[in-house]
Structure 1
């Protein structure tokens, strides 16, 4: 049986001038400018993954070195593609909110 896998790394370009300043505060207490936005996205994705119906795919989300890692695997190409597109839409929405041009 054929197996399909995808690993997506989510990261932010904090040097970009058009991002939402509220999510990337210039003076963070611990000096880690990525901590707040990465944690927000991680919590949203993890909650969505835990509340979605079973599409015969395995989805995990984790954080590592200022990245969010989204891993998706499955045996049915249609269900795999549906899951992958669903989570990519969530990531796109998160980026759209973070990078609203004021």
Structure 2
């Protein structure tokens, strides 16, 4: 079984410019990667694979943007860069999928 804390430590070492924290979402515990308050990723650790999703990392920013968050996700060409970088790194060792 995959360990959320060891994967978080591995990511923090590989990406020092991104801050990582653990939190709970509706679908369970996850790692939140925050490159900026508008760009980041949610990393969900399942029993045998990892799911990475581009996301706005801060709840306050999500609430302020409201429906604009979905618009930003669809129109900002750099929005998913952080998620793609994390997926590429983790794919070297684990089974990883990207949720869009």
State the TM bucket, normalised to the shorter chain.
0.3 to 0.5
Question: What's the TM-score, normalizing by structure 2?
Answer: 0.38
Identify the structure with the greater strand proportion.
2
Structure with higher Rg: it is 1
The higher relative CO (CA closer than 8 Å, separation ≥ 6) is in 1
What TM-score do the two structures reach when normalised by structure 1? 0.37
